Amino acid sequence: MDLDNRYGLLERQTELLTLLKKFHKHCCDNGIVYSLDWGSLLGAVRHKGFIPWDGDIDVMVDRTNLEELISSIAKDKELVIDNSSPRTIWIRRVYEAENKGITDWNTYEIPSIDVFVIDNAPDGRLARKVRLLEVLLLQGMTKVHIRLRKGNMLMKLCTVLTFFLGKLFSRETKLRWYDAVAQMSNSKTTRQKTCYFEEIKCLGKYYPANLLSSVIIVPFEGIDVCVVEDYHQCLCVQFGDNYMTPPPESERVANHIKKE
């Protein structure tokens, strides 16, 4: 491990690395197939560890392995998986059991691993658009807080309407609907897969159906982690063909720093 503190993330990344090591061991011990995802996958390939200005860990699993992960962690004394964060409660996160019970994620950003679930995507273009609209509706309904800083007036109006519509239903009901919508194409064979549990800016990325059929072990800050064997195609979808070129220094902004 050769972390530095150029971006004020040394403590954060150290904590996350400890958590990732436990997560990887848990998955290996329980036969769970996962891969690093998004910035964590890019960091593993381009930096052999964290992107220096990145302060989170993302992983992907398919639906079967998600269920096995939830079941196995329920028996684990060190890890927890749930939807505790009020910012994006549709995203499951794995974190240390000692942090269970901390409810104010906005004041104390708990070191956690974001778990993104990969499901089948409809083959038809129209069906894919309709599915995304359903997901966006549910995201709006499940939000705990609304933010109107971005978007035009129509987008802001939709944000307000979906937010208050969501107040009519329980948290559990909305999350159950969300899972049901995400799984609607899982009963059939499709050409592509996607993740419906991303934040808005990352939705609509489609991968080959065999995305998670083969994973390999690579080094990450001195520990072993799993990544999809065809990481090149995955990273091209997420970041573009030029993913190995870091952004300009002005765009290297630290994220997920704990607030005191």
Q: What is the pLDDT along the chain (260 residues), one digit of tens a residue?
A: 567 788 889 999 999 999 999 999 999 999 999 999 999 999 999 999 999 999 999 999 999 999 999 999 999 889 999 987 777 889 999 999 887 766 555 545 788 999 999 999 999 999 999 999 999 999 999 988 777 666 678 778 888 899 899 999 999 999 999 999 999 999 999 999 999 999 888 999 999 999 999 999 999 999 999 999 999 999 999 999 999 999 998 888 886 544 33
- Whole-structure pTM value: 0.91
The pLDDT score that the predictor gives to residue 27 is 97
The pLDDT score that the predictor gives to residue 2 is 65
CA distances from 170 to 80, 86, 166, 181 (A): 22, 14, 8, 17
> What CA–CA distance (Å, rounded) separates 176 from 183?
11
DSSP letter at 92 equals: E
Q: Read off the tokens for 136.
A: 């966006």
The pLDDT score that the predictor gives to residue 259 is 39
What is the CA 94 to chain-centroid distance, rounded? 10
CA distances from 234 to 21, 108, 189, 193, 209 (A): 23, 32, 20, 11, 12
> Which segments within 66-184 are labelled E, that is strand?
79-82, 92-96, 112-121
The pLDDT score that the predictor gives to residue 147 is 73
Residue type, 7: Y
Regarding beta strands 112-121 and 57-62, do their DSSP bridges make them parallel or antiparallel, or are they unpaired? parallel
- HSE (side-chain half, CA atoms, 13 Å) at 224: 9
The dihedral region occupied by 66, where left means phi > 0, alpha psi between -120 and 50, and beta the remainder, is alpha
The pLDDT score that the predictor gives to residue 36 is 98
